Amino acid sequence: MESQGTLRQAIRFQPIKFIWVLLILGLSSIRGIQCTFAGCRACNVSVTDFGGVGDGVTLNTKAFQSAVAHLSQFASDGGGLLYVPAGRWVTGSFNLTSCFTLFLHKDAVILGSPDINDWPLIDPLPSYGRGRDAPGGRYSPLIFGSNLTDVIITGDNGTIDGQGAPWWQKYRAGELNYTRGYLIELMFSDCILISNITLMNSPSWNIHPVYSSNVIVSGVTILAPIDSANTDGIDPDSSSNVLIEDCYIVSGDDCVAIKSGWDEYGIAFGMPSQHIVIRRLTCISPTSATIALGSEMSGGIQDVRAEDIVAINTESAVRIKTAIGRGGYVRDIFVRRMTLKTMKYVFWMTGAYGDHPDDKYDQNAIPVIERISYSDIVAENVTLAGQMQGNPNVSFTGLCLSDVRIGMAKLKKPKPAWNCTDIEGTASFVSPPACPLLRDEGDGGACPFPEDRLPIEDVVIDQCI
């Protein structure tokens, strides 16, 4: 086994900082934040110490599992770090442990096994009641953890490649009986940092914190073919106190999608997604949204703050999706400073999305959509400024648009810039002029954006020394 001193030295002097000490300042008992990520771990090992072979062919599932099992014994005594050296490391699904760092060398590539049997079946999420792709269970995520605390996945921009093409083909052909696995999923966990890595070709969603709190995703690149199926970038799901920053995402689906459970299952589980910050995000997704809220939002979504967002060749800037039967709410959503180029829609909202897990949903479960603010938005080459449609039973209220400048695409057959039904709110300095359902406030209608900072934003990041 490589000596601790030699391995620590090899990791420490990578060109990019990799082990973080994060201290959440201004601790808030109301929002429940109290995280300290460990800096240097007590025990550092390499996957090669457990028989790992990075030749792009050898299956390393047992090596990863054994390494994590070994490091789990240090969870209460300084934690452990698993180092993945340069190479191509094929593996099936493996679980993480608490007080743990997974660190990838810049030339390390973790490859999801192409054998479907290396992704074991697990139960569906309780807030969904079934798999998202199909009834019943689901394939395990490639990298998974449940009931953990203090988990770091980082590196010198090493890569995790799900090799998703066969999964996309089987899904489209209707050949999968269960839901595809995600690339990274942390469930019922607290204090999670995912930073300085590249994720590629996930079979489905890339990063899925679910029923979790105090999550930071920073400096992550996510890449998938723009025609790949459901390759969402980052999906906080029934999770609180989440910071997403400085990420670049090219996706076949939403770049960021905030969720909280599906119809009667999400209502019964009753865990919202809340206190979420998204900043300095760049998105390319020609068929989906830069930021989506829903459609699975039955536990509620509230207090989302997004700013300094760039989207290029993306279907919509912000999309709110819900339907009769969802219940729950989407409220207190604040978006400002978006730069958009070549979009089908800037604003897209619908209260008739449909897509139910089964026929047992409650027809009286009416979602509440209120207090949605957009300001300081510049867009060019846009097909439709706003597709904003509630329905008679699902109105979108308290909408606010201010300082919005939209350059419309030159079409052979020009269309109205706005399509609005069953919404109400205000508009100020919007061009082209907003639809009449948004009352023109002139120069007195600046939309709000919270001035306070969420505790998850106030972190101190230092290098392990």
SS3 63: helix
SS3 95: strand
The rounded distance, in Å, linking the Cα atoms of 409 and 346 is 12
Closest CA to 52 of 23, 25, 89, 18: 89
Closest CA to 202 of 236, 239, 173, 159: 159
Contacts of 440 (CB under 8 A, 6+ apart): 426, 427, 428, 433, 434
The rounded distance, in Å, linking the Cα atoms of 8 and 464 is 10
Determine phi and psi for 11, rounding to 5 degrees. Answer: -75, -45
Tokens, residue 158: 């090493």
The DSSP code sequence of 30-82 is TTT---EE-SS-SEEEEGGGGT---EEEEE-HHHHHHHHHHHHTTTTTT-EEE
SS3 365: coil
Q: Report the catalytic residues.
A: 253
**Using an 8 Å Cβ cutoff, are 353 and 124 in contact?**
no
The rounded distance, in Å, linking the Cα atoms of 295 and 108 is 36
**Using an 8 Å Cβ cutoff, are 420 and 445 in contact?**
no
State which amino acid sits at residue 114: P
